[in-house]
Chains A and B, each alone.
Chain A
């Protein structure tokens, strides 16, 4: 921990657990507003993504940080990113 302070920038796990996880969590939250059932109160699709965001981020963060199979974690993030991007694209353009 003392040897090199900038060493982690070269680490693939840092990029996966850091920026990639944050980006995917944000896209997941935004897309949830589209697919989550609004319920009879018509507010669940607004409130639940906001409430779930820290949980989604924490789950993805700990998974990508602790997994021994980085390739699997990378593909999981890519798949989640593509699915949520498609949902958002259809919402705005479809």
Chain B
């Protein structure tokens, strides 16, 4: 038994070593930690109140006082970016976990359940996917008016199909494997088979997908807020900062630059991390080095 522990431990250490020697993985991890830390601790890190107006200093370029400049109301862009990260984190955390959970369950049901249910769920996934996120958001907002809740609902609804499809494909592949048949031959119940034996084999790729979906979700929020149909001013979000910057793009170009950088860093961080995890845990899908 000590031998086994050792071999399992060696494998884990091996994976950790591979992770830590991959510059993309480490960069990704650092950026993701930065994203979480800056969003959580924004009120303590931010040099100014994100909504405090300083009219004399309005439209100031980057200086030592305002490192990312100020907007037309004299609010500090850097502080607004930090607080905007909280919106992004909120949407990402709730949106990704909700659609992951719903997609996982629906996908497993589609993959393991009867044929008609599979067809119905696939049709539902296809129908939802046929509505491009922004178009759906515009249509909804036309009826309900802009709000963060609408953004969250759109994010969850439009990303469920990608989890659902991955979970369904994986479940379908498992459905006829001998080990699932073996479980049935022992008399295991369907819920036991799904949650004890199918889920552990499906969840891995889904978690990696979730890491890759975080940037998508954050971009949707920023995009919708940019269009003015998400977070409403004066609340700071990366999208509203870009929106305000877009309006004064000729006179204060630093706002659209500063507003875009956190978006890129977050995307880059989660993409790197997701890919590194995928390479380590699922070498078949990997970059094939």
**Does B bind A?**
no
Q: Which residues of A approach B to under 8 Å, CB–CB?
A: none
Q: Which B residues are closer than 8 A to A by beta carbons?
A: none
